[in-house]
Amino acid sequence: MSLFQRLFPGLASRRNGNPTAKGTDRAAGEPPWFRVCGPGAPTPREIDSRFVGLLLGVNSLIDIDLNPFELEVLERFDKLLSSRQLDAQLLPRLPGLIPGLLAMLRRGESSAAEIAAEIARDSALVADVLRLANSPWYRIGRPVESLEQAVVHLGEEGIRQVIATAAFRPLFRCDRKAGHFACLGIGALWQQNILVSRAADCIARSENANRFQAFLAGLLSSTGLMILVHVMDRHFTGSHAPRSLLFSEHLLLASRRLSTRVASEWDMPAEVVHMLEEQARSQEMAALSTAGQILFVAEKMGRLHALKESGRYAGRYDEVSCQIDHGIADNSSHCFERLRELGSALE
């Protein structure tokens, strides 16, 4: 049994519905699985490429051959993915306080005061918990002012989410040693992870699927991209910059494979690893399991939201529609609307 399976008992078996059931092919004439309507609306593939352009500081990627920097970096990506063990400098360990907190939740015998006392040992985690409890996503009624109130208010599901979020946060910090691309894109990547995990949780709830599996997969979805951004910085001299569509496609594929690798090396549940692995194998929703479709839609929603906030998409929120496992999921569009409520509350 893996570390996360011990800390989150029943994660694999306590399911609502069947999140790993295969999606079926669309019948002729049915609407697309995921689409954005309106003039100039981007396809899922264009959403991805525009988001990469946002991270790299490029207004629009162009259809040209790979330049020397892009070729060198892609070779480094390949070596990284084929290595037996990931570079420890690129993949930090889980913070020491996190496993203990999750173990307390696993036992189910700790009071809100005991959990709050454990959280209080880490000032950064205290800030995260209080911010989350008072965020538009969770806030109901009067403000939450104490840790104990936050633990009670968030409940077991919410506390699991905020602790898991805290575990991933060190990957997405721009310190003095960070390079050009890391500092350029790190803010957008962290917000992307937050938005995707929230969207995945919201969609999973509407689809009667395992919410925390979807949430964890969303949190992990950009870790590979973040690591590859750091790899790019190691070899960037300024003589050439990444700006080709082909590089964008290779970067995204490598990042999906690497996110799967990170999930495996961090002992994430097999279902979460499978959701991420599916994204690397195919970007056609009909080829994904229901759980994989949830992550696909959540990722596109998070990226589209980032594009809209940066001025790279001028469409309306109500122009997004999607379909999960052959059922029109109106709640999925509602989930995209809910992302707007988050704003910068969780940055």
Burial class of 316 by CB neighbour count within 10 A (0 to 12, 13 to 18, 19+) = exposed
Residue 164 falls inside a structural domain? no
- What's the pTM value of the predicted model, to 2 decimals? 0.81
Q: What distance in Å separates the CA atoms of residue 275 and residue 295, rounded to the nearest whole number?
A: 7
Res 70: pLDDT: 94
Q: For the segment 193-222, what is each residue's pLDDT rounded down to a tens digit?
A: 889 999 999 889 888 898 888 998 999 999
Res 23: pLDDT: 38
Residue 65 falls inside a structural domain? yes
Q: Which of 47-56, 242-251, 308-317, 328-337 has the lowest mean pLDDT?
A: 328-337
Q: What average pLDDT does the segment 125-132 reach?
A: 82
- Predicted confidence (pLDDT) at residue 283 exceeds the cutoff of 50: yes
Residue 87 falls inside a structural domain? yes
- Predicted confidence (pLDDT) at residue 259 exceeds the cutoff of 90: yes
Of 18, 35, 48, the C-alpha closest to 285 is 35
Q: For the segment 155-206, what is each residue's pLDDT rounded down to a tens digit?
A: 877 877 877 777 777 777 776 677 888 888 888 888 888 899 999 998 898 8
Q: What average pLDDT does the segment 38-61 reach?
A: 87
Of 159, 137, 140, 139, the C-alpha closest to 148 is 159
Q: Between residues 299 and 31, which one has the greater pLDDT?
A: 299
3-state secondary structure the chain: CCHHHHHCCCCCCCCCCCCCCECCCCCCCCCCCEEECCCCCCCHHHHHHHHHHHHHCCCCCECCCCCHHHHHHHHHHHHHHHCCCCCCCCCCCCCCHHHHHHHHHHHCCCCHHHHHHHHCCCHHHHHHHHHHHCCCCCCCCCCCCCHHHHHHHHHHHHHHHHHHHHHHHHHHCCCCCCCHHHHHHHHHHHHHHHHHHHHHHHHHHHCCCCHHHHHHHHHHCCHHHHHHHHHHHHHCCCCCCCCEHHHHHHHHHHHHHHHHHHHHHCCCCHHHHHHHHHHHHCCCHHHCEHHHHHHHHHHHHHHHHHHHHCCCCCCCHHHEEEEECCEECHHHHHHHHHHHHHCCCCC
Q: What angle do CA 172, 257, 336 make, to 5 degrees?
A: 60
Residue 238 falls inside a structural domain? yes
Residue 156 falls inside a structural domain? no
Domain span at residue 241?
19-93+172-342
Q: Between residues 54 and 5, which one has the greater pLDDT?
A: 54
Assess contact for 316 and 107: CB atoms under 8 A.
Answer: no
Res 116: pLDDT: 80
Q: What average pLDDT does the segment 298-319 reach?
A: 84
Average pLDDT, whole number, for the chain? 78
Q: What distance in Å separates the CA atoms of residue 240 and residue 72, rounded to the nearest whole number?
A: 11
Q: What distance in Å separates the CA atoms of residue 73 and residue 79, rounded to the nearest whole number?
A: 10
Give the chain's largest Cα–Cα span: 60
Residue 68 falls inside a structural domain? yes
Q: Between residues 50 and 133, which one has the greater pLDDT?
A: 50
Q: State the first-to-last Cα distance of the chain, in angstroms, to the nearest integer.
A: 33
Q: For the segment 91-120, what is each residue's pLDDT rounded down to a tens digit?
A: 666 666 666 776 676 566 677 777 788 888
Counted domains in the chain: 1
Q: What average pLDDT does the segment 51-66 reach?
A: 91
Burial class of 189 by CB neighbour count within 10 A (0 to 12, 13 to 18, 19+) = buried
Determine what percent of the chain is predicted with pLDDT higher than 90.
Answer: 24
Assess contact for 288 and 33: CB atoms under 8 A.
Answer: no
Exposure on the CB side of residue 77, measured as CA atoms within 13 A? 27
In sequence order, the β-bridge partners of residue 60 are: none
Residue 34 falls inside a structural domain? yes
Residue 302 falls inside a structural domain? yes
Q: Between residues 283 and 103, which one has the greater pLDDT?
A: 283
105-108: which pairs have CB atoms within 8 A and are 24 or more residues apart? Answer: 105/7, 105/156, 105/159, 105/160, 105/163, 106/6, 106/7, 106/8, 106/9
